[in-house]
Amino acid sequence: MGKHTHKITLPIRYPLKLAYILSLIIALVVAITSITGVLYGTVIYPTADLFQAFMPNDVVNLCLGIPILLGSMWLTRQGQLVGLLFWPGAIFFVLYNYIAYIFALPFNIIFLPCLILVMLSTYTLSYLVANIDGKIIQQQLVGVVPERVSGSTLVGFGLLFFLRVIGVMVNALVSQTPIATAEFSVLIADFIITPAWIIGGISLWRRQTLGYMTGLGLLFQASLLFIALLMVMCLQPLLTTASLNVADIVVVATMGTVCFIPFILFTRGIISRHYSQI
C-alpha cells in the first residue's frame, strides 16, 4: 500500500528504481574515495596545495555529502515532494565536487573513481530530472514558493561566480601568473556548473516549468556548497598546516545566509502545502 501511494502522489513519469540503484552506487564510491583520501592524503594529494584543499573536503563529503544524498532518497521513498526535489540537488553537489577533483588530481588510485562519479552523477541527474513531471510540479507550486526571490538569488550567485571565473582567468593570462591547481579546478567546476543556476533562476523568475522542477534542487546544492566550504575552512587548521581565516569565514557565511533564506522559504512553502492537504 505504501509503495502504491508513493507512485501516485509523487509527480514522476516512471519508477525511480534505476535512480535509487545509481545513487547508492554513487554514495558507495564517494565513501570509498573519501576514506582513501583521509587515510592516505599525503599520497593521494602530493602537494601541500592539494592536500589542504581536498583532504578536509573528503571529511566533508563523508559527513555532509553522503548523508544528504541518502536523506533525499529516503524522503522521496516516503512520498515527500521535498525529497524528490532535493535529490537532484544532492547529486548536483556530488557532480560539482568531483569535477573539481578530476581537474586537480594527478593520475592516481582515486582519479578513475572520481571520473566515474562525474559520469554517474551526470547520468543520474539527467535521469531524475527527465522523470519529474514538471507540469504537475508547476501546478502544485505556483504561488506557493517565492519564485522571484529564489530566481534572483540563483541568477545573482550564478553571474557572480561565472564572472569571477572569467576575471581570474583573464587576469592570470594578462599578468602571466599561474593559478594554483586547487583553485584552478574549482574555477573550472564553477564555470561548468553556474550556468545551470542562471538558467534555472531565470526560468523560476518567469514562472516556467523548468524553474519549478529545478529551483529547489539548485538552491539546495548552492546552500550545501556554502556549508561545505565553511566546514572545509574550519577543518583546514585542524587537519592541515593552513591557518584559520576568520575574515573569509565571515564573508562566506554572509553569502551563504543570502542563499539559505530563499532555500528555507521555498522548502517551507512546499511543506506547508503538503500539510494543508492532509
- The DSSP result for 111-161, as a single string, is HHHHHHHHHHHHHHHHHHHHHB-HHHHHHHHTTTS-HHHHHHHHHHHHHHH
The average pLDDT across 25-34 equals 98
Confidence band, pLDDT 50/70/90 cuts, at residue 3: very low
pTM to 2 decimals?
Answer: 0.93
Q: What number is the average pLDDT over the span 221-242?
A: 97
DSSP 82: H
Residue 5 belongs to a domain: no
80: three-class secondary structure by DSSP: coil
| Host domain of residue 28 | 10-276
Answer yes or no: is pLDDT of 208 > 50.
Answer: yes
pLDDT in tens, 156-207: 999 999 999 999 999 999 999 999 999 999 999 999 999 999 999 999 999 9
Task: Give the pLDDT confidence score for residue 36 in this predicted structure.
Answer: 97
The mean pLDDT value of the chain amounts to 94
Give the pLDDT score at 8. 45
The model's pLDDT over 94-149, given as tens digits with 9 standing for 90+, comes to 999 999 999 999 999 999 999 999 999 999 999 999 999 999 999 999 989 999 99
Buried b / exposed e across 127-157, counting CB within 10 Å, b at 16+?
Answer: bbbebbebebbbebbeeebbbeebbbbbbeb
Helix, strand, coil tally for the chain in percent (to 5):
85, 0, 15
Instruction: Look up residue 63 and give its amino acid.
Output: C
pLDDT surpassing 70 at residue 7: no
pLDDT on residue 84: 97
Is it the case that residue 262 has pLDDT exceeding 60? yes
Residue 146 forms part of a structural domain = yes
pLDDT given at position 51 = 97
* 192 inside domain: yes
Does the residue 44 lie in any domain? yes
The verdict on residue 4 lying in a domain is: no
Q: Is the pLDDT of residue 278 over 70?
A: no
Residue 1 has pLDDT above 70, yes or no: no
Q: Which DSSP letter does residue 12 get?
A: B
pLDDT cut 90: percent of the chain above it:
93
Number of domains in the chain: 1
